[in-house]
Structure 1
Amino acid sequence: MPAPDQQQRLAALRETIADIERKPALAEARMLVEQQGHAFPVLAGGMLQEIFTDERRNAGALLGFALAQAKGLFTAQRRAVIYLQLADEAQKLGLPYGPGLLSFGLDPAALVLVRAGNMGELLWAIEEAIACRAVAAVVADIGSHSKLLDFTASRRLSLRAAATGGSIFMLRYGQEREASAAHLRWRLMPIHSARSRYDAKAPGPLRWRAELEKGALIRNQTEFVLGWTENGFTTLPAQRRHANRHAGRAALPRAVPAALADGLSQTA
Structure 2
Amino acid sequence: MGTPDRQQRLAALRDAIADIERKPALAEARPLLQADGAGFPLPAGGLLQEVFTDERRHAGAALGFALGQARSLLTPSRPAVIYLQLAHEAQEMGLPYGPGLLSFGFDPAALVLVRVANMTELLWAAEEAIACRAVAAVVADIAGQHKLLDFTASRRLGLRSANAGASMLLLRYGTGREASAAHLRWRITPALSATRRFDALAPGAPRWQAQLEKGILDNQQTHWLLGWTHHGFIIRDAANRALFPAADAALSGPVPAPLAHRLPATA
| Fold conserved between structures, TM > 0.5 | yes
Match of 2:144 in 1: 144
Match of 1:223 in 2: 223
Stretches of structure 2 that go unaligned for 5 or more consecutive residues are 1-16, 241-267
Aligned equivalents of 1:198, 1:157: Cα separation in 2: 47
Q: What amino acid is the match of 1:169?
A: L
Aligned equivalents of 1:197, 1:91: Cα separation in 2: 38
Equivalent of residue 31 in structure 2, options 8, 27, 30? 27
Q: TM-score, structure 2 length as denominator?
A: 0.79
Match of 1:240 in 2: 239
* CA gap 1:64/1:19 in 2 versus in 1, 3 angstroms: farther
- Shift in Å at residue 103 of structure 1? 1.4
Aligned equivalents of 2:135, 2:19: Cα separation in 1: 28
Say what the alpha-carbon RMSD is for the aligned residues: 2.0
Aligned equivalents of 1:150, 1:164: Cα separation in 2: 21
Match of 1:172 in 2: 172
| Residues 127-179 of structure 1: CA deviation (Å, up to 9, x unaligned) | 00000000000000010000000000000000000000000000000000000
Matched, 1:192 2:192: yes
| Residues 179-225 of structure 1: CA deviation (Å, up to 9, x unaligned) | 00000000001111111356321221111100000002242310011
Aligned equivalents of 2:19, 2:138: Cα separation in 1: 23
* CA gap 1:18/1:227 in 2 versus in 1, 3 angstroms: farther
The count of corresponding residues between Structure 1 and Structure 2 is 224
Match of 1:163 in 2: 163
Local SS of the residue matching 2:29: helix
Local SS of the residue matching 1:85: strand
Q: TM-score, structure 1 length as denominator?
A: 0.79
Local SS of the residue matching 1:23: coil
Q: Is the 8 A contact 1:197 1:204 kept in 2?
A: no
Q: What amino acid is the match of 1:233?
A: F
Q: Is the 8 A contact 2:151 2:181 kept in 1?
A: yes
Match of 1:51 in 2: 51
Aligned equivalents of 1:120, 1:198: Cα separation in 2: 52
Q: Is the 8 A contact 1:18 1:155 kept in 2?
A: no
* Greater helix share, structure number: 1
Stretches of structure 1 that go unaligned for 5 or more consecutive residues are 1-12, 242-268
Q: What amino acid is the match of 2:21?
A: I
- Shift in Å at residue 74 of structure 1? 1.2
Q: Percent identity?
A: 62
Aligned equivalents of 1:15, 1:51: Cα separation in 2: 28
